[in-house]
Chain A
Amino acid sequence: GESVGLHLPTLSVQEGDNSIINCAYSNSASDYFIWYKQESGKGPQFIIDIRSNMDKRQGQRVTVLLNKTVKHLSLQIAATQPGDSAVYFCADTQGGSEKLVFGKGTKLTVNP
């Protein structure tokens, strides 16, 4: 079936390095994507979103890239800090539906 998924369940980086978290989606009608961050013991928090009419969107230290040709989404975190350690989820509204479908998440660990 159609799904939103992540390439790797875990990612470990050194403090100060850039992090790249990937997400693949299969629904060609998907037109809105969101990245969430979930810290231990907390609910997910919105990081950044992107619509399908864009290829790139930047926030504070974060950039989301969308490649519709290969149905791939990535989240780049610049100068990763220990506070960035969390599980990151991509989510998709599956072609404009009222439901938000989440991937299974990637756990980012930042080593000092």
Chain B
Amino acid sequence: EAQVTQNPRYLITVTGKKLTVTCSQNMNHEYMSWYRQDPGLGLRQIYYSMNVEVTDKGDVPEGYKVSRKEKRNFPLILESPSPNQTSLYFCASSLSADRGIIGELFFGEGSRLTVL
């Protein structure tokens, strides 16, 4: 089954304790992206990757890191989490960004993170 898989789905952690949210897709997609979803603010892009070893900042990259060493994986790293990073996080992928226009994005089920 074609899917985007995120782990963990739920996590409660404390300020400053490094954590990684993994994201994996089995569709051989080139484009991958991370979003956070907050009440009243909708979905905001954190980072995206056009292909392996290519990553770029989205609209809210502060406090996050990503890597794209393999095509299928795009982990989101919070080096020193803070309470304002409490949010619902979504990973998404797309077959390609043809001429700068992204096609259909496939989303994971989300990872709910709470930072105390």
Residues in B whose Cβ lies below 8 Å from that of A98: 31, 48, 50, 56, 97, 100, 102
Residues in B whose Cβ lies below 8 Å from that of A81: none
A side interface size, CB within 8 A:
24
Measured in the bound complex, the distance between the Cα atoms of B102 and A46 in whole Å is 12
From the candidates A34, A41, A43, A102, name the one contacting B42 in the complex (CB within 8 A).
A102
A63 within 8 A of B: no
- Given contacts A43-B108, A43-B109, A105-B42, are A100 and B33 in contact (CB under 8 A)? yes
- Kindly identify, within residues 71 to 112 of chain A, every residue whose CB is under 8 Å from any CB belonging to chain B: 89, 91, 93, 96-105
Interface size class, chain B: 20 to 34
A100→B45 contact, CB < 8 A: yes
- Kindly identify, within residues 8 to 23 of chain B, every residue whose CB is under 8 Å from any CB belonging to chain A: none
Q: Which residue of A lies closest to B103 (CB)?
A: A49
Q: Which residue of A lies closest to B57 (CB)?
A: A99
From the candidates B42, B48, B108, name the one contacting A99 in the complex (CB within 8 A).
B48
B2 within 8 A of A: no
From the candidates B41, B97, B107, name the one contacting A44 in the complex (CB within 8 A).
B107
Residues in B whose Cβ lies below 8 Å from that of A32: 101-102
- Kindly identify, within residues 36 to 94 of chain B, every residue whose CB is under 8 Å from any CB belonging to chain A: 40-45, 48, 50, 56, 58-59, 90, 92
A99→B45 contact, CB < 8 A: yes
B100→A101 contact, CB < 8 A: no
Residues in B whose Cβ lies below 8 Å from that of A97: 100
Residues in B whose Cβ lies below 8 Å from that of A15: none
Measured in the bound complex, the distance between the Cα atoms of B45 and A100 in whole Å is 8
- With A42-B109, A43-B107, A93-B100 already in contact, 16 other A-B pairs whose C-beta atoms are closer than 8 Å: A32-B101, A32-B102, A41-B110, A43-B108, A43-B109, A43-B110, A44-B43, A44-B90, A44-B107, A46-B105, A89-B43, A98-B31, A98-B50, A99-B48, A102-B43, A103-B42
